[in-house]
Amino acid sequence: MTISDRHRRILDAVQQAGQLGVPQLAELTGTSEMTVRRDLEQLADQGMLERYRGGARSLTLRGEAPPFAVRSHEGQDAKRRIAAAVADLIADGEAVVVDSGTTCLEVARLLVPRRLTVMPLSMHAANALTGAPQLRLLLPGGEPRRDELALTGPLAEASLAALRFDTAILGCCGLTADGLTAYDLADAAMKRAIIASAHRVIVVADPAKFARTALAFVAPVSAISMVVTTDDVAEDDANALVAAGTIIHRA
């Protein structure tokens, strides 16, 4: 493999994953970690990626979300840990709005036995909550996006504007100190409406989201009450979010 081929493979892998560590890239390219570190320094000097201690992250915006069916099988253990931590933060009797997305779906599943009022913003979550014995289920209007089945549009936004929730569980596509971002413009509008409707906003995000910026800006970090992630989050990423005005809760 030539140096050019190796650099292209590294860039493609980092772009696809959002960020990767040196050991992973060494295995991918069949070279030593020392060689990979030199490659990363060269690529960083060219403005192709961003170096951090032990790896690199992409500087390119990711304009499209992977399909829901693909995401639902990725990082299942981390999503379930995050969901369990979020469920523990919600008290019986609360009114809760649950965003679309695979991690929010895991949260919805854990709310089934609880005594709550819940408005899910995806048909996947609505199906999971249907028939819950103690739960009051509110269904918004809106147009379901194909595959994702997230409810968006004026009817969904009007449903949120008419209500006030104790807690919002918000998914994200990207989360950095610069703010929360989404792949889809309609989804970004819904997330802003969710934030405006809730007293407390809890963002659920695995550590990979902290290195990612998507197309549509949603809100600054200061609009978020708390981010729930896993305990393997990079300290630099966590500290940057705390400095920007939120709380990090590790699951």
Percent of the chain with pLDDT over 70: 96
Write down all domains in the chain, each with its CATH number in brackets.
3-58 (1.10.10.10), 68-250 (3.40.50.1360)
Instruction: Give the mean model confidence (pLDDT) for residues 126-149.
Output: 94
**Cα–Cα distance for residue pair 72/125, rounded to 1 Å:** 13
pLDDT in tens, 159-175: 999 999 999 999 999 99
Q: Report the predicted TM-score, pTM, of the whole model to 2 decimal places.
A: 0.78
Q: For the segment 18-68, what is each residue's pLDDT rounded down to a tens digit?
A: 788 999 999 999 999 999 999 999 988 887 788 888 998 877 655 566 677
